[in-house]
Amino acid sequence: MTTKTTQIFSIEQARAMLPLLRLIVTDISLSHRELTERKSNLRRMLRRHEGKARFQIYDAEITEIQEDLKNETAHLEEYVSELEQLGVILRSAHDGIVDFPAVIDEMPAFYTWQMEQQDIVDFHRADESTADRKPIYE
């Protein structure tokens, strides 16, 4: 059995990845938001359609939409897998929040970056959530 080793990032290594992450995370966030909206629209459509014979003409369209959503979900999972292969952790697809495993003050921690930020400016300890972020003092 092999154990996956977690990559530990220095702040410099994490910052060097930002140009690539901006592209990937922007795609993830946009795809996630669109997928969420389309799934919500499909649920509304299915509630109106349920048990009503006059809406059966839309069955083929609903099946096509469901297949499209399945494909889009698989595509989104590929993006997330790409991030995992880079050694980072996606914390929020919607908000584009990514954590970089790190060791700060000899404690397991994460540098955190959010899609709209120009730089990595905060971190949180491994036993804290991203909501507990603190500024990086260099």
Report pTM. 0.81
Both tokens of residue 78? 């590929």
Please report the DSSP string for 37-100 in residue order. HHHHHHHHHHHHHTT-GGGGGGHHHHHHHHHHHHHHHHHHHHHHHHHHHHT-EEEETTTTEEEE
Residue 52 confidence (pLDDT):
64
Segments making up each domain of the chain, as ranges: 11-133
Confidence (pLDDT) at 2: 43
Give tens-digit pLDDT for 30-79: 999 999 999 998 888 788 777 665 566 677 788 888 899 999 999 999 99
Reply yes or no on whether the pLDDT at 5 is more than 80.
no
Percent of the chain exceeding pLDDT 70 equals 91
Quote the pLDDT of residue 130: 84
96 touches 29 (CB < 8 A): yes
Read off the pLDDT band of 21 (50, 70, 90): very high
Which amino acid type is present at position 78?
E
Query: What is the rounded average pLDDT of the residues 119-136?
Result: 93
